[in-house]
Structure 1
Amino acid sequence: MLFRVVAVLLALAVFPVVEGVLALFDWGRPNVAEDPFVGFTGSHSLFVLAEDGERYEVPPARRNFFAYESFPATKQPGTFRIFCLGGSTVQGRPYSIPTSFGTWLKLALQEADPSRNWEVVNCGGISYASYRLVPILEECLGHEPDLIILCTGHNEFLEDRTYHRMSRLPGWVHQPLGAIAGTRTFTLLRGAVQGVSDSAPAEPDRLLLGDDPDAMLDYNEGLAAYHRDDDWRDGVIEHFGFNVRRLLTIAEEAGLPVLLLAPCSNLADSPPFKSEHRPGLTEAELDEWNRLVEEARTLYRTDLRRAAGLLQDAIAIDDRYAATHFEQGKCYEHLRDMEAARECYLRAREEDICPLRILSPMEEELHTIASEREVPFLDLHELLEAGSRRGILGDDQLVDHVHPSIEGHQQIARWLLETMAQEGLLEPRDGWEDRATAAFEKHFESLEDHYFLRGIRTLEALRAWTRGEADGPPAHLRFPERITRRRAGEDASAAGDRRPEAAQNSEITSP
């Protein structure tokens, strides 16, 4: 037995020696930026040199998705440069960069440590998912960054793509396999096999996407492109974890610190955007489900506890219809059973056919990744929810389904500064909080009225977008494979269509 153990240890000892030799000669370096599932048809820069040659700026061609932003081409001594990467939450929607957490962070940093020149560059892109942030991060590495703030998770389900090559291995297998796949030895062996095998493609067989997002909801009646697809959902979730890990790996290899943020979502006041019945529901089951839901709604003003019980009976018949969970959550909330209400709201979010909010498995993945990589981590949902009046995040902290209020962005900036201080990135002087508050008020008062009017119009357009009412071409012309069009004379009694009229809309009647 001792001989066998020694033999195994000696065999394993060869591997680190080989890795050391390969590292010494820089052979077989893994390409961590490569995405095996999606690629891009072009690579237009987010920042280009301005005509005067003194600043980098977002060019007009990119401003459909990014707000105008700029920073000095030459980084001055004593400058600490931060790039904020993510989606529209980072950009500050429905407003813009002037009231985003990046701007408030810069103001707070100037008050906390005026001895340094603080630059905070906003790279928040509308509808930008995690896989679209990799080229942005790689570009930012060429601009002498000192810190990356990464906030992503809401936009993963916006673009149509497939995951036919996604592995279906158990979760506990992925970490060791991922570690092996990231070695130089594996990279060289894979290249050798692909070089001699006719069946192994030289290039990954992956979907090519355009430079900017082509969201399904950018098309009129875009909600029609969404249907229940559990395999696609699982692929999106796994791809998300893969992308966050490679973003952190790219930064780590560049010696660049990262602050990782989990985005927040509206649970209490944002109904699911689309609901569908579970597959295989029989005619009799659907009739009983309809009866229970309709009877529950007649009791919303008189007997909420009985209504919640009837909705639970309906959920026992079909637990995949998202709107029912949300309505039951409203019943429990008005009954002051906040724990039960929150569980219902979470389940409603999970069953949403059009997931415009980060899902629980993705939130859990962010926690896991932060722990694995020992990365500073802020769960914005937990932090904002802790200050919510009801103990469930809703309209008191957010302006819509995902975007924080201006006050929320200010609070996020304070948390970021405190985290930076904990990580030794600055030593804030005493009293910075009060001075930062004063600076916030002065900046807020400097904004003109039309800035807020534009924000209100953007919010109205955003709400129409979530209802599938975009001004783009009809969705069925772009996504025919995902849309089942109902023609005149078709059987409207199909299980997916025979639900109470009020439940067919994204707006749910509140008790």
Structure 2
Amino acid sequence: MKQNRGKKQKTPKKELQPKPVREISAAKRRLFSAITFSLPVLFLVILETALQLFHYGGNRALFVSTPDESSVYYGINTEAGRRYFFWGNFVPTPRKDLFLKKKPPNGYRIFVLGGSTTAGFPYGNNVTFTRILQRRLADTFPNRRIEVVNTAFTAINSYALADFMDEILAQQPDALLIYAGHNEFYGALGVASAESIGRIYGVVKTYLKLQKLKTFLLLRDAINGIRKRISGSSENNLNVDDPLATEMSRIVKEREIPLGSRLYDSGKKQFQSNLHDILKKSQNAHVPVIISDLISNARDQKPFVSIQSETLPSAEGVFEQARMLEGDGNYDKARTAYYEAKDLDALRFRASEEFNEIIHRLAAEFSIPLVPMKTVFEKASPHGLIGNNLVVDHLHPNIDGYFLMADAFYNTMRREKLISADWPGQYIKPVSYYRQNWGFTKLDSTYAALTIAHLKGGWPFKESGANLSLYEFNPSTKEDSIVLNILKTGQSTLELGHVELAGFYEQHGDWRRAFDEYRALIYTVPCLDVFYEPTVNLLVSNQQYEQVLALLYDALKYNESFFIYKWIGQMNLSLNYTERGIFFLEK
């Protein structure tokens, strides 16, 4: 007992009992889950709204107010090409075609879809087959406001054309014209293009839809920036950043695509699917379509890449056989052999005849008119062999070829009674009249020739070595110097070249040649006053009043502006046509 004296008894600790866990109600669990799910969605919505607010990526709509927001016209957006070109630095520019925002009651509006041939390469805006067609139709129907809108870009294919359709149909077209099919492999998003995101059709179509989201563009640009930093240059194409390389050499990813291979069949399927979608949308919108088959330089362009397999002969061997058949005067068999050699060419810049078969088959399926362009070109070629007589390179027509294309579309429209059941014969002029009186000068032909020289100075026309064509060219005329400056520096344009040359001729007292340069500019952009003003001033200063009137009356088919009416009135008064002058001044 003594031992325990003075010591406090330890009180036993109470055993800690765990607090009961309060169970979260099902309603709160749903609320927390909704918040967890909503936060990233809310973040993306805020991000998308901010990117839209600050116009990230710019405006990539197909049509924008041109030349400014106050204009009565829409034009093709110069930024629209960025929808399809993003891996490299090249972005194609559109044609300078305008159409009224408000379609007039007497209007007839045609949209044209295609690639570089439809865009008029290697010429300027005044020598597209669409511009030629528009003038012929405007002359044929002087009481209608004919608009032919060329939506073509270089190096695009059927993916882009199908992507354009909703925007085109929203602009109340009366007809669509299509010349396309050569760019299915190497055009942007094509199965063998350096500007590709893969070969699966559904993936590409989904990608095009997602591009409407600015957040998606931001993500795409970030990935592209990282890819460029890691690779240092394009892993697919060493020419992509070469300043001397042509776009033709930059755009290729796969240089060998044998006829009948899996990649070849993917390109065919892509073309057929997109073209079917285009025709189906047009049919549903009750918009008539005219489609053309394709032409190539089969006679004078040797195959770029010739390979031989157990099942297929070499393209080069078949081409040489065609040469021998032609030499023997067996032109029908030679033609067949030339087309076979073209189809066997493993570098697929020229569409094979199977693509023409797709065009013919879908035209029949949708009961739409077909322009037999290949037959038209064959009939205009010696012995029916299409070559350098009408084509400047592997597939682009020369100026005679473009007039031939315009004539073929014109004749098909007339046969099908588009615009009117009655095409008044008294207003119809032969295509030769337009060829002889066109707004086209030596500057245009020089520009085209040097452009083609540059194209053929690089791959695949030349196997290796730097493309020095522009640096080895020695200008001998004023036109040569202007064109060389345009192509070498990129700081001028063909239009500015015409302005410079017109000024040069004016300074030297040659008003007729100055007028030719201004007329080429009017044919380039017929809807605006900008090139009519210096032309009128030139003619008035040289007392060419009747020529001023003829020019301005013609202008009314494209441009009913205050400037045009004012000058028609003043010229009529100057020529003592008082009543007529007052009538136009009052308008």
- CA offset digits 1:8-63 (Å, max 9, x no partner): xxxxxxxxxxxxxxxxxxxxxxxxxxxxxxxxx99822221132232112344357
Q: Per the alignment, do residues 164 and 454 of structure 1 end up closer, same or farther by CA in structure 2, a change over 3 Å counting?
A: closer
Q: Does residue 92 of structure 1 match 2:87?
A: no
Which residue number corresponds to residue 275 of structure 2?
A: 244
**After superposition, where does 1:337-348 map in structure 2 within 5 Å?**
337-348=330-341
Gaps of 5+ in 2: 1-56, 82-90, 212-216, 218-233, 467-587
- Write out per-residue CA displacement over residues 53-84 of structure 1, whole angstroms, 9 at most, x where no aligned residue: 32112344357242332222222220111111
The equivalences for 1:379-458 within 5 A come to 379-425=372-418, 426=420, 427-434=422-429, 437-442=432-437, 444=438, 446-458=439-451
Residue type of the partner of 1:45? A
Q: Does 2:146 match 1:118?
A: yes
Q: Distance between the aligned counterparts of 1:400 and 1:208, measured in 2?
A: 34
Q: Give per-residue Cα distances to partners, 1:198-245, cap 9 Å, x unaligned.
A: xxxxx858784799xx99697466668412451000111122111111
Which amino acid is 1:375 matched to?
A: I
Query: Matched residue of 2:307: which SS?
Result: coil
Other structure's SS at 1:91 match:
coil
Alignment partner, residue 66 of structure 1: 94
The 8 Å contact of residues 376 and 408 in structure 2, kept in 1 or not, is answered as no
Alpha-carbon spacing, 1:352–1:381, altered in 2? closer, same or farther (3 Å): same
Work out whether 1:48 is the aligned partner of 2:64: yes
Is contact 1:325–1:348 with CA below 8 Å preserved after alignment? yes
CA shift, 1:431, in A, is: 4.2
- 1:227 alignment partner in structure 2: 256
Deviation >6 Å, runs of 4+: 214-218, 468-471
SS across alignment from 2:182: coil
Give the Cα separation in 2 of the matches to 1:439 and 1:322.
39
Contact 1:217–1:465 (CA<8 Å) still a contact in 2? no
Letter in 1 for 2:342: R
Supply the distance in 2 between the matched residues of 1:353 and 1:114 (Cα, whole angstroms): 48
Higher RCO, 1 vs 2 (CA within 8 Å, ≥6 residues apart): 1
Question: C-alpha separation between the residues in 2 aligned to 1:319 and 1:436?
Answer: 43
Residues 135/438 of structure 1: CA separation in 2 closer, same or farther (3 Å cut): same
Judged with a 3 Å threshold, the aligned counterparts in structure 2 of structure 1 residues 435 and 232 are, in CA distance, closer, same or farther, namely: closer
Aligned residue runs from structure 1 range 276-355, under 5 A? 276-278=307-309, 319-355=312-348
Deviation at 1:343, TM superposition (A): 2.2
Greater CA drift, 241-250 or 335-344:
335-344
Structure-1 separation of matches of 2:161 and 2:317: 35
Q: C-alpha root-mean-square deviation of aligned residues, in Å? A: 3.3
Count of aligned positions: 356
Q: Distance in 1 between matches of 2:59 and 2:327?
A: 51
Look up the SS of the partner of 1:374 in the other structure: coil
Aligned equivalents of 2:374 and 2:58: distance in 1? 35
Partner Cα separation in structure 1 for residue 308 and residue 109 of structure 2: 50
CA distance in 2, matches of 1:456, 1:153: 25
C-alpha distance in 1, partners of 2:353/2:272?
A: 12
Read off the aligned partner of 1:48 and give its amino acid letter: V
Tell me the CA shift for residue 466 of structure 1: 5.3
Q: Output the CA distance in 2 between the equivalents of 1:412 and 1:233.
A: 28
TM-score for both structures, normalised by structure 1:
0.63
Distance in 1 (CA, whole Å) between partners of 2:294 and 2:351 is 8
SS of match in other structure, 1:90:
coil
Distance in structure 2 (CA, Å) of the matches to 1:45 and 1:224: 28
Q: Hey, what does 1:273 align to over in structure 2?
A: 304
The answer (yes or no) to whether the contact 1:275–1:351 under 8 Å persists in 2 is: yes
**Matched residues, percent identical?**
25
**Aligned partners of 1:108 and 1:432 also within 8 Å:** no
Residue 75 of structure 1 is matched in structure 2 by 103
- 52-61 or 214-223, larger mean C-alpha shift: 214-223
> Equivalent residue of 2:134, what SS?
helix
**Is structure 2 residue 180 aligned with structure 1 residue 149?**
no
- C-alpha distance in structure 2 between counterparts of 1:217 and 1:121, whole Å: 36
